[in-house]
Amino acid sequence: MNDTPDRQDSPDRLDSIEALEAHYGLPVQGALDKELGHISDPYRQFIERSPFVILATCGPEGLDCSPRGDPPGFVRVIDKRRVQLPDRRGNNRIDSLRNIVRDPRVSLLFMIPGVGETLRINGHAELLTDHDLLRSFAMGDKVPKCVVSVTVDRIYYQCQKALHRSRLWDPEGFAQKGEAPTAGEMLKSVFGSDFDAESYDANYPEHRAKTIY
């Protein structure tokens, strides 16, 4: 069975650079000028204040997008071309890391609670396991398994429109209990009716406290 979407020619499909540019027009010059090949001082300040970044990678099996978070400063600016972030304990799928060792291209999207702008880095990554480097990223006695070191190819900020439209930081837009499925409910849809979703959700805070680092 062929699962590839139907790609027949259609006047309603944008399927070439020429079609895209004709449909959207050219970007304003400012949108191009804000892109740099190095980390400026304001961009450094943004990175160092951010407690949350999304790491996007690609590999033979496809794409991956992984949330990474810690207290502000957990992404370390090494110099004007490099940043480093620890790989904290997770589910051990290591999808992002599997991709990086085979295709080093990555993208990072930094966010700061309450700030409308986001900051984007496109670059190349490598995985480092130097003992002293790992110890420098320790939280208490918990040391990351590796450090992701990213060399910047391009860096630029993105304006407030998406976060403003989504009301991401507006408490009035926060989901109320029952409006989004819990982790237990999502797992039950995977494992079947015998899975105890309520117990899973009730016990998860204790599990998180024991395994967060």
Contact 83, 75 (CB under 8 A): yes
Residue 28 pLDDT:
85
Residue 18 within a domain = no
Q: Is the pLDDT of residue 199 over 80?
A: yes
Identify whether residues 161 and 179 lie together within a single domain.
no
Identify whether residues 107 and 155 lie together within a single domain.
yes
- Start-to-end CA distance of the chain, whole Å, equals 44
Q: Which two tokens stand for residue 154?
A: 């391009």
Identify whether residues 125 and 98 lie together within a single domain.
yes
User: How many structural domains is the chain composed of?
Assistant: 2
Identify whether residues 146 and 114 lie together within a single domain.
yes
Round to whole Å and give the CA distance between 9 and 6. Answer: 9
Identify whether residues 188 and 141 lie together within a single domain.
no
Identify whether residues 160 and 186 lie together within a single domain.
no
Residue 110 within a domain = yes
Residue 33 pLDDT:
80
The 10s digit of each residue's pLDDT in 45-56 is: 999 999 999 999
Residue 83 within a domain = yes
Contact 105, 57 (CB under 8 A): yes
Locus of tokens 């060792």: 101
Please, is 36 exposed, middle or buried when counting C-beta atoms within 10 Å of its C-beta (0-12, 13-18, 19+)?
middle
Tell me the mean pLDDT in the region 154-168: 96
Tell me the mean pLDDT in the region 58-75: 95
Residue 152 pLDDT:
98
Beta partners for 141? none
CA dihedral over 131, 135, 140, 143, signed as positive or negative? negative
Residue 36 within a domain = yes
Identify whether residues 159 and 180 lie together within a single domain.
no
Residue 2 within a domain = no
Mean pLDDT is lowest, of 27-41, 101-115, 164-178, 199-213, for 27-41
Q: How confident is the model at residue 2 (pLDDT cuts 50, 70, 90)?
A: low
Q: Is the pLDDT of residue 132 over 90?
A: yes
Q: How confident is the model at residue 67 (pLDDT cuts 50, 70, 90)?
A: very high
Domain region containing 55? 28-166
Residue 9 pLDDT:
59
Contact 82, 144 (CB under 8 A): no
Q: Is the pLDDT of residue 27 over 90?
A: no
Identify whether residues 121 and 190 lie together within a single domain.
no
